[in-house]
Structure 1
Amino acid sequence: MIFPLSIVSFLGLVCLALLASPYPFLAPGAVLGLVGVAVLFRKPAWGLLGIAALVPLEGFFKDSALSGTKLIGASLALILMLQLALHQIPSERLRSNIWRLLIGFMVFYVLSMLNTDDLGMSLGHLRELSVGLILFVITLLIGREMNLDLFARLVTLSVTLTCALAMFSSKYQDQGRAAGLLEDPNAFAMLIAFAVPLALLLVIRSPNLLHRLFWLGCFILLLGGMTKTESRSGLVVLFLSLVIGAWHYRVHLTRIRPRHLGFAMLGLVIVIPLAIYAMPAGYVARIQSLSILSSGAKAQDESLGRRASYIVVGSQMIRENPLLGTGPGTFPLHYATTGYAKAFSANRKVGDLYRRAHNTYLEIFSELGVPAGLFFVGMLALGLYNLMRARRAWMQRRNWQQADLMTHLGMSFLSLTLFLMFLSAPNQKYVWIMLALTSVLRLKAEESPIPEAKA
């Protein structure tokens, strides 16, 4: 793959211009930029891996207009556009069974925007969603070249690092709850739930005891970070994904002998009391508060009461505007005019009154209408189905290693889809990367040759 001389000449001129300008100290940055662009041009999959690794660390750049993910993403998008124009990447890679649903979703999105209650809020929502759409296209183009084992390692290490920071420093906590580098503990719990299946995969695949202990330590830190977030939804999602993983590996239960049961019982006797002792008292109280879910918006638990009020307001919005909704990003506008906003506002500040739905599905159905909501849910369901088909295809080809990988990626993607019921995150980067990756992995699995049966 030849790197265009025009780009080298352009960046060279930029370096010379910076040296002649009042800011010559910026010239080395242009040189580093040239090296980075050259690397991305040769290995664009590395850029996607870099974005995946930087997602949990974006809080470091929250006060900066240009973050690492934005810089890599913009560079990668321009490079891939150039490579498509030069026919260095075949356009057939854009083929995906998700396009039909995505196009339908975007058609109703645009119609809803034309009928929005607040154009400014809708444009802001579109700007956020466009990041996910760009990542979707990027992943379709270069997902085949991405090293998935390295993807699992980078995501696990990145999220584990933020867990360590949140557990041992109050700077990365929100009123005692671990938030990592994010502002919302539940958003942080979502990243942990996504990384846990990948960490388990690394523990299982470790080539030696030292590596297994390292990844096991990361897994334990992730679990500790989850308890520190005190996220009830995180606990439910994590439990479901682990149950699915246990079902996938059920065939290995035949290896268990009666003599192993004694050690298993001893381990449970030690681990369970330690886990209960290490679990924060506030987390236990929050879990116990789930028993009052049926009390509605006036429940004693303020968090559950707020979430119930979001459902009441969102349902009313859907009944009033079922086809096109009220416009992208306008849920806070409607919620602020209700009595719930004042009742659950601690300080009556404007920012405390305008709340999002904390449920991506509810938000999309109420803001964009029922058809757009069905298209969005259909995309995620199709993504899960793609991973199931990819797993089945690899099992038919007796490639158990790839089948295990599909299972763990499916657990991680399922964690994201379940967490969207508790967060307003339609532009979450991992969601769009994984959504595109599901179709790429299915095509790759089904196109691989089936080995001939031995006579």
Structure 2
Amino acid sequence: MIVATAVGALLALLCLGLLASPWPFLAPFVVIGLAGLAALYRRPAWGLLGIAALVPFEGLFKGTEFTGAKLLGVSMIGILAVQLLLRQLPEARLRNNLWRPLVLFMLAYLISLMFTERLGLSLGHLRELAVGLALFFISVLVAAELDLKMLFRLVSLSVAATCALALVSAQHQVGGRAIGLLEDANYFALLIAFAAPMSAWLALRARHLLTRVGWLAVTLLLLAGMTKTDSRSGLVVLISCLLIGLWHHRAELRQIRSRHLGFVLLGAAIVVPLGLMSLPADYVARIKSLVELKSGINAHQDASLGRRASYLVVGSQMIRDNPLVGSGPGTFPVHYAATGFAKAFSEEAGTSDLYRRAHNTYLELFSEIGIPGGLLFIALVLLGLRNFERARQASQACDDGEQADLATHLALSFLAMALFLMFLSAPNHKYLWIMLGLSGYLRLDAESRLARFRQMT
């Protein structure tokens, strides 16, 4: 009763203050905001779902201080902190086997920060990484309440919506390459590769034919968006995940009877040629360049591959110069700009195009925070993948095929992220840290279900 009275009084004061201010039209939003906070307090997992759904639309809020994702994130941190202080959340929620490697990684990161060459750049890098760390904390605490099927739906639909925009509007393309609502085609390809296993799971597990057709259409839309990005790394990652997914579902593939095989072959004979014919000519040419890598990289013929080779040269030299603590978080662009590669591969006039990131998260971390910090980050990623694998194994041992498939497709999405980090600099990507937080809970939950299953049997 006291809390309700205090909230009501606060609401009245805020509304009166806004009515007396130059912005009286904001008064109704106070009520809406408090109602939203109340809903988040009761269901914090809804906030994480909202953040995940807003990731593909971040380009809409570029340059604005207060975005939907920021407001949700700050609100959830405050709400979860209050619930922890009031002991409204069980301490078991904090259990996660990634805390130890994460603490060690942050220790190596802070040591590198102490010896950084550019303190301003490093503090900016730390501020960006703090977003990912906050999402990891949120994910660990709300994972037990999170509806993973709803997460699959929201991520698949939000990424597919930006794919549709990129396919029909030239405004969401740069140089003919789809970027969605982002600024880079490869980052857009990362979102597509991340969402594709989720939409595929929804199509496979749909109970009604019409629903299955709908999710299959979403999956095909994602694949069409991938071809429009002209991303070679995206194709490699997507094919790798597809092959692993087929291996996991090999038991279902064996159920195809001989009388159905003809229809399967007929469908493949129609879909495969049509798919190859629909590929843009530029994309086909870029794919062919991967086959020619065995004869060496010709920077004059393919500037993109030449740039990536130059990142390796610069990063390797940085590691040799500072193997233990690196040159400092966020300092790779400064080192690269000081080399002749920057001018040779510059695409635009001016100095801004000279400062390029490594386009390889692992290389960037090794060169910026040192070998120990880089190894600890890799350990985080590998342990996350191991958590999903153990969750799948435990679910299979419980004869829970649906949960096993769900864990597998989560692992495929996380694997797509981990592989893409070799082609992009994104150590603070929201999906990366959300998946790391979920992996520990998913493993604990599956192993506890397995223990109960064995006691019952």
* TM-score scaled by length of structure 2: 0.97
Question: How do residues 117-196 of structure 1 correspond to structure 2 at under 5 angstroms?
Answer: 117-196=117-196
Q: Deviations over 1:158-181 (max 9, x none)?
A: 000000000110111111100001
Match of 2:317 in 1: 316
What corresponds to 1:107 in structure 2?
107
What is the aligned partner in structure 1 of residue 444 from structure 2? 443
Q: 1:6 to 1:333 in 2, by over 3 A?
A: farther
- In structure 2, relative to structure 1, the CA distance for the partners of 1:102 and 1:6 (3 Å cut) is farther
Q: Is the Cα–Cα contact under 8 Å of residues 345 and 353 in structure 1 kept in the other structure? A: yes
Between 1:422-431 and 1:345-354, the stretch displaced more is 345-354
Amino acid across the alignment from 1:169? S
Query: RMSD of the alignment, in Å?
Result: 1.6
Q: How does 1:235-254 map to 2 (within 5 A)?
A: 235-254=235-254
Alignment-derived partner of residue 282 in structure 1:
282
1:339-371 deviations in whole A, cap 9, x for unaligned? 000000123421100000000000000000000
Give CA deviations for 1:80-100 in whole Å, capped at 9, x if unaligned. 101111110123311211111
Distance 1:8 1:130, change over 3 A: farther
Distance between the aligned counterparts of 2:160 and 2:195, measured in 1? 8
SS in 1 for 2:64: coil
Rounded to whole Å, the distance in 2 between the matches of 1:174 and 1:3 is 53
Deviation digits for residues 103-147 of structure 1 (CA, Å, limit 9, x no counterpart): 111011111111111111111101100000000000111111000
SS at match of 1:426: coil
- Further displaced range: 288-297 or 147-156: 288-297
Give 2:304's aligned residue.
Answer: 303
CA gap 1:405/1:158 in 2 versus in 1, 3 angstroms:
same
Distance 1:54 1:426 in 2: 19
Superimposed CA distance per residue, residues 215-258 of structure 1 (whole angstroms, 9 cap, x where no aligned partner): 11101100000000010000000001111110111112331222
- CA deviation profile, 1:247-292 (whole Å, cap 9, x unmatched): 1111123312222222122112111111111111110011111134
Q: Which residue identity does 2:374 align to in structure 1?
A: G
Residues 163, 450 of structure 1: alpha-carbon distance in 2 compared, 3 angstrom cutoff: same
Cα distance change, pair 3–305 in 1 and its aligned pair in 2 (3 A): farther
CA positional deviation for 1:451: 2.7
8 A contact 1:293–1:304 mirrored in 2: no
Question: 1:22-79, CA deviations, whole angstroms, 9 ceiling, x for partnerless residues?
Answer: 2110111111111110110011000100111111111111131111111100001101
User: Does residue 84 of structure 2 align to residue 84 of structure 1?
Assistant: yes
Displacement of 1:454 after TM fit? 8.8
After superposition, where does 1:53-64 map in structure 2 within 5 Å? 53-64=53-64
Give the superposition deviation at 1:421: 0.4
2:30 corresponding residue in structure 1: 30
Is 2:210 the partner of 1:205? no
Gaps of 5+ in 1: none
Which residue number in structure 2 is paired with residue 406 of structure 1?
A: 407
SS of 2:453's equivalent? coil
Q: Tell me, in whole angstroms, the C-alpha distance in 2 between the residues paired with 1:427 and 1:5.
A: 41
Alignment correspondent of 1:71: 71
Greater shift after overlay, 266-275 or 430-439?
A: 266-275
Q: Equivalents in 1 of 2:360, 2:341: separation in Å?
A: 17
> Contact between 1:136 and 1:435, CA under 8 Å: does it hold in 2?
yes
Shift of 1:299: 5.2
Mapped to 1, the partners of 2:420 and 2:261 lie a distance apart of: 35
In structure 2, C-alpha distance between the alignment counterparts of 1:5 and 1:341, rounded to whole Å: 62
Residue 7 of structure 1, CA deviation: 4.5
Q: CA deviation at 1:453?
A: 8.6
The question of whether the paired residues in 2 share the 8 Å contact of 1:292 and 1:299 is answered with: no
C-alpha distance in structure 2 between counterparts of 1:229 and 1:4, whole Å: 52
Q: How far is 1:400 from its partner?
A: 1.1
Provide, for residues 349-396 of structure 1, a one-character-per-residue CA deviation record: whole Å limited to 9, x for no partner: 211000000000000000000000000000000000001111111111
Q: 1:388 to 1:342 in 2, by over 3 A?
A: same
Matched with 1:380 is 381
Deviation at 1:8, TM superposition (A): 4.7
Q: How far did 1:6 drift?
A: 4.0
Letter in 1 for 2:323: P
1:5 CA drift (Å):
5.3
One-letter amino acid matched to 2:91: S
Partners of 1:78 and 1:247 lie apart in 2 by 43
Contact 1:327-1:368 within 8 A present in 2 as well? yes
Number of equivalences: 455
How far off its partner does 1:300 sit?
1.9
For 2:358, the equivalent position in structure 1 comes to 357
Give the structure 2 partner of residue 271 of structure 1. 271
- Secondary structure of the structure 2 residue equivalent to 1:298: coil
Length-normalised TM-score, structure 1 = 0.97
CA contact (8 A) 1:318 1:366 kept: yes
Match for 1:227: what amino acid? Answer: T
2-structure distance, mates of 1:237, 1:345: 27
What is the CA deviation profile of residues 186-215 of structure 1, one whole-angstrom value per residue up to 9, with x for unaligned ones?
Answer: 000000001000001110111111111111
Q: Counterpart of 2:420?
A: 419
The equivalent of 1:390 in structure 2 is: 391
CA–CA distance in structure 1, aligned partners of residues 384 and 267 of structure 2 = 37
Equivalent AA in structure 2 for residue 214 of structure 1: G
Compared CA separation, residues 147 and 322, structure 1 to 2 (3 A) = same
Distance in 2 (alpha carbons) for counterparts of 1:321 and 1:67: 38
Decide whether the 8 Å contact of 1:101 with 1:378 is kept in 2. Answer: yes
Q: Kindly indicate whether the alpha-carbon contact (under 8 Å) linking 1:397 and 1:450 is maintained by their aligned counterparts in 2.
A: no
